[in-house]
């Protein structure tokens, strides 16, 4: 059972309210590049993420807008700016640390929303059935690389008709495996 593995670098998801504050009332995100997940895109716009110990400038925004803003950083990124980001699934931000976001028209103080995204596999229902996997099932995925092959545990399977098959890991995880670009991983259920 092979799945495409992509590295998901630091990024921000914004609510329309926060987008308006950061970029101006009624602002619309500009699609720079479509991503592997249907309807998702990297934006031209960028923001600064500020924590108690530092700032990361030029952090990418992913569209479209979401119900709540969230910041996804690697654990290394989060520590660098002084935030103890918990490992969570995207969207599970209750009780997480916050940060300040700065855009060209204003700034937003997030009370919560900074996470290190839990490694996960997106599957549509047909792919999930083909692989005999279920939503929220936890699997391992083996990656082969030149000199740094490894098997990731604690990989959450996420199934939705809105998804296309792909596994997402952050830059720390990608660097640990010495990955160069997109690779195929073997799902070990």
Q: How are beta strands 2-7 and 183-188 bridged, if at all? A: antiparallel
Q: Return the percentage of the chain with pLDDT > 90, whole number.
A: 97
The pLDDT, as a whole number, for residue 189 is 77
Question: 22 phi and psi, to 5 degrees?
Answer: -75, -35
In what helix (H) or strand (E) does residue 46 lie, and over which residues does it extend? strand 41-51
Mean pLDDT of 37-63: 98
99-158 per-position pLDDT tens digit: 999 999 999 999 999 999 999 999 999 999 999 999 999 999 999 998 999 999 999 999
Q: What's the mean pLDDT when you consider all of the chain?
A: 97
Nearest to 100 by CA among 139, 51, 135: 51
Query: What pLDDT shows up at residue 85?
Result: 98
Rounded to a whole number of angstroms, the distance between the first and last alpha carbons of the chain is: 9
């Amino acid at each position: 059972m092979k799945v495409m593995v992509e590295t998901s670098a630091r990024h921000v998801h914004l609510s329309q309210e926060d987008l308006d504050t950061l970029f101006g009332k009624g602002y619309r995100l500009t699609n720079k590049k479509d991503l592997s997940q249907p309807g998702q895109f990297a934006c031209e716009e960028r923001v600064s993420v500020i924590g108690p110990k530092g700032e990361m400038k030029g952090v990418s925004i992913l569209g479209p807008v979401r119900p709540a803003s969230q910041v996804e950083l690697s654990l290394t990124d989060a520590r660098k700016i002084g935030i103890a980001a918990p490992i969570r699934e995207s969207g599970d931000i209750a009780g997480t640390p916050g940060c300040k976001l700065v855009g060209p028209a204003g700034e937003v103080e997030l009370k919560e929303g900074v996470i290190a995204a839990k490694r996960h596999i997106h599957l549509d229902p047909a792919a999930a059935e083909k692989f005999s996997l279920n939503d929220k099932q936890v699997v391992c995925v083996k990656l082969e690389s030149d000199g740094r092959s490894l098997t990731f545990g604690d990989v959450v399977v996420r199934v939705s008709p809105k998804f296309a098959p792909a596994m997402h890991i952050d830059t720390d995880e990608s660097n640990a495996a010495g990955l160069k670009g997109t690779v195929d991983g073997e799902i070990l259920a």
